[in-house]
Homo-oligomer: A and B are copies of this chain.
Amino acid sequence: MSEVSARPARVDPERVARVGEALAHVLSPGQWRQDTETLAAYGRDESDSGVFPPDAVVFPESTAQVSAIFKACVAHGVPFTPCGARSGKSGGSLPLDGGVAVSLERMNRIRSISVEDLTAVLEPGVVTGDLMKAVEAQGLFYPPDPNSWEFCTMGGNVAENAGGPRALKYGVTRDYVIGLEWVLPDGEVVRVGRRTIKGVAGYDLVGLFVGSEGTLGVATEITVQLIPLPRKVLTALVVFPSVLDAARAVSAVLAAGILPRCLELIDDVALRAVDGRGFSFPSGAGSALIVEVDGTSEESLLEELSRVGDICAQQGAAQTLVARDESQREKLWAVRRVISPALRALKPHKISEDIVVPRSRIPEIIERLKAMGAELGLTVATYGHAGDGNLHANILYEGPHQRPLVDEALRRMLVMTVDLGGTITGEHGVGLAKREFLALEQAPALIELQRRLQSFFDPSGLLNPRKIFPALVRSH
């Protein structure tokens, strides 16, 4: 990882101290931290965007405290940046200009789960996996499953509009959030959305706030809708001689009217990296798909997987392995989960991109990425949620001396993604990592409109500054 830690100390320590003093009567000791270790920990996330330690970290335990913190920061002109589990992949929670990091991690209660209403009400610090388990214990299902579900928090999922493999059938975070208690940048608290599944009263501010990457305010309470837990889930691994065969099979399966809940692609580089790590691929395997279907009867799911197998065979698949029990199913998903660490083992450095193309362009983007890798002398590994066109394209490299080449590869990757009608981020967000690339996809007038909208909500400009939008864009 090439990390940049050179943050100019922009915030006057006096101002930060004044924020701390203003909050002294609101917070308990231990809720305001300025020790070096804490500052260092809250200056990084799971992106490759660098280290930006805040000047203080504050741990509110109530909505009123969040509101007071925002008000104090605005009053004293100190930047403030909300964070959750710091598992973000685009730098969205990095305090770029220092100031106060506002961690929601202590607000971590599931307030209620209603089996009859199919809803849950929770605080933003609830770990996504804890919510999943709690509702599944009651026969309900919260489908969005970001890869980091074991440690990421729901507040972060809301901020980033997190997705995951099941998005193919079930959609993303935004599709499940129906109501929010929301602290606006000036500290005002509003309740937006509703407690019912349906409702159209007023503007859809829930839709606007979900995915706003911590720049329009922060959720202090989240109401989600749930669905009945599917009674049966079946998983299969389909092995192909080449990644293009596999990519074409993805389109063919969907065009045949089958909507699996997951349809994950593993390309040749990724497959070689994981081969033998708890799972051995047959010889000649050059790519694989993990297909997962769910529904009410095992029989009809087996029939569905059998149709998937037939379609894949027509596209050249060598083999379809159906997991017959939970332990076999777990083994197939272990293959998917080990990809990222296995690729890291291939080369000292790895950068992962999160792109989406229209599904029909998957074979083309994979071919183009391979050609680009060959041209630049870099290894490119592609895997991910091929069913909805969302690919994680990884560039593997030897060391910092190759970084300019890697940056060129990243730029070309995003240019070709947009060129194919795609988007530069499917589920990780723009944050810091991609703000300079947003203009590849969005017109200057649209970027300008969004900047103005940000200023509408945050005239102070102090909430999570310099994220999402490029440094300088002029409208025509």
Contacts and interface: CB of A to CB of B under 8 A. Distances in A.
A454 B161 CA distance: 24
Interface string A436-458: 00100111011101101110100
A115 B200 contact: no
Interface in A423-476: 423-430, 434, 438, 441-443, 445-447, 449-450, 452-454, 456, 468
A212 interface: yes
A120 to B, nearest CB: 12
A218 to B, nearest CB: 15
A196 B450 contact: no
A456 B175 CA distance: 26
Contact of A201 (B172, B442, B453): B442
A40 interface: no
A201 B356 CA distance: 11
Contacts of A255: 115-116, 139
A257 to B, nearest CB: 4
A158 to B, nearest CB: 12
Contacts of A227: 259
A231 B119 CA distance: 29
B208 A449 contact: no
A359 B389 CA distance: 35
A100 interface: no
A356 B197 contact: yes
A303 to B, nearest CB: 6
Interface size band for A: 35 or more
A450 B209 CA distance: 13
Interface in A152-183: 160-161, 163, 167, 171-172, 174-175
Nearest to A304: B296
Contacts of A114: 358, 360
Contacts of A449: 184, 190, 205
Contacts of A290: none
Interface string A288-316: 00000001110110011000000000000
A117 interface: yes
Contacts of A356: 194, 196-199
B200 A357 contact: no
B257 A445 contact: no
23 contacts: A115-B255, A116-B358, A116-B359, A117-B358, A117-B360, A194-B422, A194-B423, A196-B390, A196-B422, A198-B427, A199-B425, A199-B426, A200-B429, A201-B442, A203-B212, A203-B450, A205-B446, A205-B449, A228-B259, A295-B295, A296-B304, A297-B297, A453-B456
